[in-house]
Amino acid sequence: MNIKYLLICLVLILMQACAVPIEKISTPVDIPEKFTQTGNSSPLEHWWLAFNDPQLNQLIDQALTDNFSLISTFNRLQQAEAIAIKDSADLIPSIGAAFGGAKSYSNLGNPSNFALGLNASYEVDLWGRLRAQKQAAELDVRVAEENLNTAAISLSSEVAIAWYRLIEQRSQLRLLKQQIQTNRNNVEITLIRFAGAQSSAADLFQQQQTLQATIGDQNNVLATIKVLEHQLAILTGNTPGMFSLANNQQLPDLPAQPQTGLASELIQRRPDLRLAYFRVQAADQRTASAIADRFPKLSLSASINATSPNLQSLFNNWIATLAGNLILPIVDGGRRVAEVERNKAVAAESLNNYASTIQQAIKEVEDALAQEYQQKQLISSLNLQYSYSQKATEQIRLRYMYGAIDFLRVLTTQINQQTLERNRISAKRQLIEYRIQLYRSLAGSWPLPEYENSSIDSKEQENG
């Protein structure tokens, strides 16, 4: 019995001594200390609240709760957690029990026989192989968690972009209806002037063509509105045709620009960067496990068996055994060496992907900053152009009424002004979209809803 205690103590010591440390990964690429631009407002955890748009808030809340793609990403997290539990079980002894009874019938009597057995087996983690596998699986769980956070950020930005594109198209539709009415009035005026021999047939045809072109633009906008409504339905977990939206037609003013902070803070904050970081660590652990797999394995087993003709004396007759096996790989055709090299390549790939992800993250922030700055300049230019166009249109229309210039000049000026009106709406929406991209590139994670009971079956029960 003392030998058993010594063996148990030896196993516990080996288990503690062979833990494989999880190495910290230094930033594999040079990064700037700070970004080229920064704002004054403090960044919000829920970035979309900066727009002060209740309808947007409701849509994103619904998407984060009911979007099926996001819930499926959570299901992948559940799978990773289950795998981690399974891999952790290899560090715990496996114990099984068996109980049996038999009765024989013969002319000599009806003897009975009962048997009870307990068997335990355990692989001593001499070189840390099992512990490395366990830690790699736990890191996979962290990867899955950050993947879920990344998906939530992407989903929230997709909803915001689709929502403001929808509002832009509704604004365009309202403007096009005004322009169609204006063009119809111009057709009537041109028709009257043509009847009085003050305009040519070409002038009339050109004005009618302009009217029809505007009607065609309206048809395109109507189709785009439906497509965006369907997209928002899917993003929020609804079926297209069974989802209604508020009829917002006014784009919000751009919120104050957020503080971009330090580039090093971005690496700690963004979930996709943390995801890449944990993948590197998990690959390192699997490399350590593959290396340890080349060394001998020590397995321990123990069993207790008892037999008796009756249950009362079953525990009176028993036998116990304790055994150990040392397995040393000798010839495997290079399989274990190849597995080590494969895992080293996977680890190198993960590190390079981490470096690339960092660079891409810095680029996304700088791109959004540059695009927003230039878009503001474009909007200022469009506003000036529109102001000049209004003045030019008034002068040209007046001169045309007095016969000083031809109709083509009037038509060209009118088309330019109507185009500028539409471009101003599109430019404002594009500015908002660049800001959404900036929020997305700076965003960290936030607490997500509980998805344990989120499934198709549970939703059908709620609807029923």
Give the position of tokens 């008796």: 308
pLDDT band at 1 (very low <50, low <70, confident <90, very high): very low
> How would you class 195 by CB atoms within 10 Å of its CB: exposed for 0-12, middle for 13-18, buried for 19 or more?
exposed
Q: Looking at the predicted structure, is the pLDDT value of residue 8 above 80?
A: no
Q: Write down the pLDDT at residue 334.
A: 85
Q: Which residue has the tokens 């365009």?
A: 172
> Cα(65)–Cα(173) distance, rounded to whole angstroms?
32
Q: Could you report the per-residue pLDDT of 370-408, keeping only the tens digit for each?
A: 999 999 999 999 999 999 988 888 888 777 776 667 777
Distances (CA, A) of 372 to 305, 320, 369, 376, 429: 77, 77, 5, 6, 11
* Alpha-carbon gap, residue 114 to 120, rounded angstroms: 21
- Please report the pLDDT score of residue 330 as a whole number: 74
Would you state the pLDDT for residue 170? 97
What pLDDT was estimated at residue 20?
A: 73
With contact defined as beta carbons under 8 Å apart, do 400 and 407 qualify?
yes
pLDDT of residue 162: 97
pLDDT at res. 105: 58
- Band (pLDDT 50/70/90 cuts) for residue 13 is very low
Of 436 and 328, which is predicted with more confidence?
436
Structure confidence at residue 104 (pLDDT)? 59
Q: What pLDDT, on a 0 to 100 scale, did the predictor assign at position 305? A: 72
Question: Bigger pLDDT: 380 or 130?
Answer: 380
Residue 50 pLDDT > 50: yes
Lowest mean pLDDT of 16-30, 33-47, 221-235, name the range: 16-30
Q: What is the pLDDT of residue 171?
A: 96
Least trusted range by pLDDT, from 145-154, 254-263, 300-309: 300-309
Confidence of residue 322 (pLDDT cuts 50, 70, 90): low
- In this prediction, residues 104-121 reach a mean pLDDT of 64
State the chain's mean pLDDT as an integer.
85
Residue 421 pLDDT > 80, yes or no? yes
> What pLDDT score does 6 carry?
45
Indicate whether 129 pLDDT > 60.
yes
pLDDT of residue 16: 47
Of the candidate ranges 237-246, 313-322, 403-412, the one whose mean pLDDT is the lowest: 313-322
- Name the pLDDT band for 464 (thresholds 50, 70, 90): very low
Residue 54's pLDDT is 96
pLDDT in tens, 63-73: 999 999 999 99
Angle at 161 between CA 155 and CA 164, to 5 degrees: 140
pLDDT band at 280 (very low <50, low <70, confident <90, very high): very high
Higher pLDDT, 400 or 314: 400
pLDDT digits (tens, 9 = 90+) for 198-237: 778 887 888 899 899 999 999 999 999 999 999 999 999 9
314 vs 232, more confident: 232
